[in-house]
A and B are shown apart, each in its own frame.
Chain A
């Protein structure tokens, strides 16, 4: 049997699948050739700086805007032809959330609940309690964070198979962010899928299984969080016996982002540690050494840094 009939043979169905998804606003590029595969049951982090094309990708697969070329499916259904059917199975928080200011939080949830033919209110009560949300006040009178809570509850309340969230923790305080991350973990544990965009790496790092990095409208890479960490990127600091020369260390393979201050030298490193240690001890002598596991922030910067250099080379 061919692999195309995989869904019938019980293979994992893609929660989100895009092929060459491209969106131009007139002549201005939104996204280009985005090929994404988000598996059912995983938490997928969609990372990129402001204006990278995160929201454009999300708005395209939700059929808010139409692709210039390419196509997408959600839960096996075409995002254009089956858009209404798809929306029965998803929960969504738009980036820069706006709600109806004259409705209370409760009114808002009832409004969207009614459009879904009703929701389980005991579950809503549970969410309200977990997020410590006040639903009796008008949305227009709420602070950004409290408004965002209403948006989060709205997206979770009907237990959707797929949650699509564009920068969902904007405005939430650290306590609530942690609660949100727990909620995401629970959704994933139930076999449901979460797709969340962010420009905050640490947030995604805590909850995501895999990460896609988008920049200037193009998907640069998709890797598992574990793989990214195991790229053996480390932050290495030496205190040397004599003032250091950056060029000496830059000649070692895998060294990036070198910062020298007298006897003190810092770098990101992803190569043979023995070679680095030999260079340091033989050339200068090592008084102290400190290494940390690199977080996504640095890996992220490394990717972008390379991309910048590539662009500079092209120009």
Chain B
């Protein structure tokens, strides 16, 4: 008979997420290697020396090396760290929020036992996922006839394991110390994203390399393990960091009061407690908030919007201008010598111009990523969220039709997609102004509009999946998976003739395909993206109308 305990349950709770992450990376690898196989790799060997060393390309670069590097150092590492983060923040704080920690600790088990079980499950899950990522590498390379004998794939995997574990433990520790899942997830995600971009960007400026050593991601990727083998010192930093986090988590978790199935107190709540301010704030936070489904939805996701919009505005918008201005001219000059196909791979654009810089740094990955994150979370939560929280029954006892509910959930999603786009537009415009880059405001607006539309497409996909299944996880994983796949398809299409012919299939080709930052609005692209969204939304109405409402999450 199977022994189900805290360890086993925690390890098995998230198996689907791990399986999807591992399977997607394997699929991407297959896809990537077959694409790189067709590329004339001389474009890489002709790169300026300084840059080759910077991005870890040796003169003996081959398709295998590139594919492995891109898949694991970027996508694989981010996905694995992301799932570890989700698992870590759920471990302690998640159980408290769900109200299950009380019953767990009513058993004769100490807090330390629960914490260690959860940690053990995290370590095991990350290890299994890493092995699952590693297993297909050699068979796929052999299948495609790609030579990867010169690469230390195993060293990279070891670094990948330690890196994911570190971020998982960071989230677990923050959750254990604060008991607040939102704090754990938010803070760890911020550190993950900043450190990923910091390690990519900082080396471009003077002294940046040294500064980047404070970022955890540096110890994953900084030593280029796939070419240079295991950097034991770096590995030790990540592992000992994880151990320190475990110690901090144990101390923190044992010292504090357990949180009940509570919703926490916001600053707004405290202000509402003051009778003088209550009436005014009550209007703002209460009456207005619950005036209709769509307004309530806007309030429900305001934090997500604020964070995303702030990051896009400040970090990806305003700050990128002065950053660009701070890159030494000689570094920029090297970009000038880049072959066009290679730049296309990085998201298109000529880095020696500010438009190219913003295309790559802001609009290439982060801008669609941010807007898709917001729309997918809202689309998935729209219907399936009410069902998993079991509030849909009450909503449907009110005299409003199912279509009306769908409609009122779409309005905030569209609004937020455009607000994220607007924040990006404002940030980039100000960044250009501050650094005196002289970019066209009209073109920035056009690009940001297309950004909103690409978010709308995947948000609508999440809504359709949510309407069809009533399951939040299927809607989120399904649409994020589709977005990653199509983004990769699009990037590789720039390099591979066979894929390029099929690039009309990916929504991303209608987003930056016509280089709107230089060429202005791509009306055809906008029309395609809008039409795609409308079709998916139409489908959502039909699917939701026909289905039984789920009673359980």
Contacts and interface: CB of A to CB of B under 8 A. Distances in A.
Interface stretch (B113-121, B396-404, B497-505): B396-404
B391 A112 contact: no
Nearest to A108: B290
A92 B394 contact: yes
B2 interface: no
A65 interface: yes
A228 to B, nearest CB: 30
B293 A115 contact: yes
A291 to B, nearest CB: 44
B42 interface: no
Contacts of B400: 84, 87, 115
A268 interface: no
A100 B391 contact: yes
Nearest to B292: A114
Contacts of A199: none
- Max chain B Cβ within 10 angstroms of own Cβ: one of A65, A98, A112: A98
B394 A154 contact: yes
A110 interface: yes
A141 interface: yes
Contacts of A103: 289-290
Interface stretch (B52-60, B205-213, B261-269, B351-359): B261-269
B393 interface: yes
Interface in B198-243: none
A179 interface: no
A104 B286 contact: yes
A107 B399 contact: no
Interface in A85-142: 85, 87-88, 90-92, 94, 96-104, 106-108, 110-112, 114-116, 138, 140-141
Nearest to B391: A98
Given A59-B549, A66-B548, A115 B390 contact: no
B290 A116 contact: no
A94 B393 CA distance: 7
A85 B399 contact: yes
B396 A64 contact: yes
Nearest to B289: A107
Interface in A69-97: 83-85, 87-88, 90-92, 94, 96-97
Nearest to A56: B551
Contact of B390 (A90, A98, A107, A154): A98
B394 A55 contact: no
Contacts of A102: 263, 300
A63 interface: yes
Contact of B290 (A90, A91, A94, A114): A114
Helix, strand, loop or mixed for chain B's interface?
loop
A62 B291 contact: no
B389 interface: yes
Contacts of B398: 87, 112, 115-116
B107 interface: no
A65 B548 contact: yes
Nearest to A155: B397
Contacts of A55: 551
B263 A101 contact: yes
Contacts of A88: 399
Contact of A64 (B261, B291, B401, B549): B549
A140 B401 contact: no
Contact of A110 (B290, B394, B395, B551): B290
Contact of A90 (B262, B269, B397): B397
A111 B396 CA distance: 13
Contacts of A110: 286-287, 290-291
Nearest to B99: A140
A97 B393 CA distance: 9
Nearest to B397: A92
Interface string B396-439: 11111100000000000000000000000000000000000000
Interface in B283-298: 286-287, 289-293, 296
Interface string A132-161: 000000101100000000000010000000
Interface string B149-167: 0000000000000000000
A85 B549 CA distance: 19
Contacts of B393: 59, 62, 64, 92, 94
Nearest to B282: A106
B548 A106 contact: no
A88 B391 CA distance: 18
A112 B389 CA distance: 16
Interface string B509-553: 000000000000000000000000000000000000000110100
A99 B400 CA distance: 18
Contact of A63 (B260, B390, B396): B396
- Max chain B Cβ within 10 angstroms of own Cβ: one of A62, A88, A103, A154: A103
B290 A99 contact: no
A107 B396 contact: no
Contacts of B397: 62, 87, 90-92, 94
A247 B548 CA distance: 52
Contacts of B396: 62-64, 87
Interface in A43-68: 55, 59, 62-66
A138 B293 contact: no
A138 B285 CA distance: 12
A138 B269 contact: yes
Contacts of B287: 110
Contacts of B286: 104, 106-107, 110
Interface in B238-262: 260-262
A140 B261 contact: yes
A97 B392 CA distance: 11
Given A65-B549, A107-B290, A115-B400, A140 B262 contact: yes
Interface string B6-22: 00000000000000000
Given A59-B551, A140-B262, A111 B290 contact: yes
A94 B392 CA distance: 10
A158 to B, nearest CB: 10
B290 A96 contact: no
A250 to B, nearest CB: 43
8 contacts: A59-B551, A64-B548, A84-B401, A87-B396, A91-B397, A92-B394, A98-B391, A140-B262
Nearest first, the 9 closest Cβ-Cβ pairs linking A and B are A140-B263, A111-B290, A98-B390, A92-B397, A65-B548, A115-B398, A88-B399, A87-B399, A64-B549
Given A87-B397, A98-B394, A141-B262, 8 more contacts: A59-B551, A65-B549, A87-B396, A87-B400, A88-B399, A94-B393, A102-B300, A103-B289
Interface of A: 55, 59, 62-66, 83-85, 87-88, 90-92, 94, 96-104, 106-108, 110-112, 114-116, 138, 140-141, 154
